[in-house]
């Protein structure tokens, strides 16, 4: 994640959390970033040096109003426009989502298993991960046909590998070391 995107995300998170509007700000910024990504005309308009800052603010304000944007979003967009960072909106939105979730104590886990897990298994695994990390876990489950058995869990940069292949590799390394 680029540091500039992270700085903008942290600044917005400070304000949004202080005012109790983190979830709304996250959705609104994501919606605006989506509109920006989809419209070449909007991207060109906001990037053009021929367009005044006042005109850019007016367009951003109209789009923000259309998506139900708050004053927080509007002011944030003005700041991004003033600093010529509109090209970073998608990165900023991603960073903002990550920052908000971290500050709220929520972590995403991607769980790969060799076979489909039952709902009780998913619940037990999620509870175990919450106990291990001290965070609320939002798990996404998927089946990976490449796994021989077991599961692999990724939470941020941390990987918990409980796959059969990993265990076999560990045994192979231990035998080779003897």
Residues ≥6 apart with Cβ < 8 Å to 122: 111, 139, 141
Asked if 141 and 122 count as a contact pair (C-beta separation under 8 A), the reply is yes
User: Mean pLDDT in the chain?
Assistant: 92
Is the pLDDT score of 76 beyond 70? Answer: yes
Asked if 88 and 2 count as a contact pair (C-beta separation under 8 A), the reply is yes
Instruction: Look at the domain 3-102 and name its fold.
Output: Peroxidase; domain 1 (1.10.520)
Residues in the chain: 178
Q: How many CB atoms lie within 10 A of CB 93?
A: 24
Q: What is the pLDDT of residues 81-124, one digit of tens each?
A: 999 999 999 999 999 999 999 899 999 999 999 999 999 999 99
Where, residue-wise, is CATH 3.40.30 in the chain? Answer: 106-177
Residues ≥6 apart with Cβ < 8 Å to 96: 8, 9, 12, 13, 25, 26, 29
Question: What distance in Å separates the CA atoms of residue 101 and residue 23, rounded to the nearest whole number?
Answer: 10
Beta bridge partners of 161: 152
pLDDT at position 46: 94
Is the pLDDT score of 1 beyond 60? Answer: no
Q: Is 89 exposed, middle or buried (0-12, 13-18, 19+ CB in 10 A)?
A: buried
Q: What is the torsional sign of CA 149, 112, 129, 170?
A: positive
pLDDT at position 131: 94
Inter-residue long-range contacts of 147-152, CB under 8 Å, 24+ positions, other chains counted: 147/112, 147/113, 147/114, 148/114, 149/114, 150/113, 150/114, 151/111, 151/112, 151/113, 151/114, 151/117, 151/125, 152/111, 152/112, 152/113
pLDDT at position 2: 67
Could you tell me the pLDDT band of residue 64, with boundaries at 50, 70 and 90?
very high
pLDDT at position 60: 95
Could you tell me the pLDDT band of residue 54, with boundaries at 50, 70 and 90?
very high
Where, residue-wise, is CATH 1.10.520.20 in the chain? Answer: 3-102
pLDDT at position 172: 87
Asked if 126 and 140 count as a contact pair (C-beta separation under 8 A), the reply is no
48: helix, coil or strand?
Answer: coil
Q: What is the pLDDT of residues 128-140, one digit of tens each?
A: 999 999 999 999 9
Could you tell me the pLDDT band of residue 8, with boundaries at 50, 70 and 90?
very high
Could you tell me the pLDDT band of residue 34, with boundaries at 50, 70 and 90?
very high
pLDDT at position 41: 95
Is the pLDDT score of 145 beyond 70? Answer: yes
Mean pLDDT, to the nearest integer, of 2-14? 91
- CATH, range 106-177: 3.40.30
C-alpha neighbours within 13 Å on the C-beta side of residue 26? 17
């Amino acid at each position: 994640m680029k540091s500039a995107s992270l700085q903008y995300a942290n600044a917005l998170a400070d304000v949004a959390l202080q005012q109790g509007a983190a979830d709304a700000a996250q959705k609104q910024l994501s919606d605006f970033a989506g509109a920006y990504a989809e419209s070449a005309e909007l991207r060109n308009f906001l990037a053009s040096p021929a367009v005044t800052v006042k005109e850019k603010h007016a367009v951003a304000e109209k789009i923000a109003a259309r998506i139900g944007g708050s004053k927080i979003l509007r002011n944030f967009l003005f700041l991004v426009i003033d600093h010529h960072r509109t090209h970073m909106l998608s990165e900023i939105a991603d960073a903002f989502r990550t920052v908000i979730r971290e500050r709220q104590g929520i972590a995403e886990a991607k769980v790969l298993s060799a076979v489909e897990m039952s709902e009780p298994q998913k619940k037990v695994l999620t509870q175990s991960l919450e106990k291990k990390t001290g965070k609320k876990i939002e798990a996404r489950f998927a089946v990976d046909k490449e796994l021989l058995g077991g599961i692999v869990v990724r939470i941020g940069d941390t990987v918990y590998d409980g796959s059969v292949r990993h265990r076999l590799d560990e045994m192979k390394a231990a035998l080779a070391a003897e």
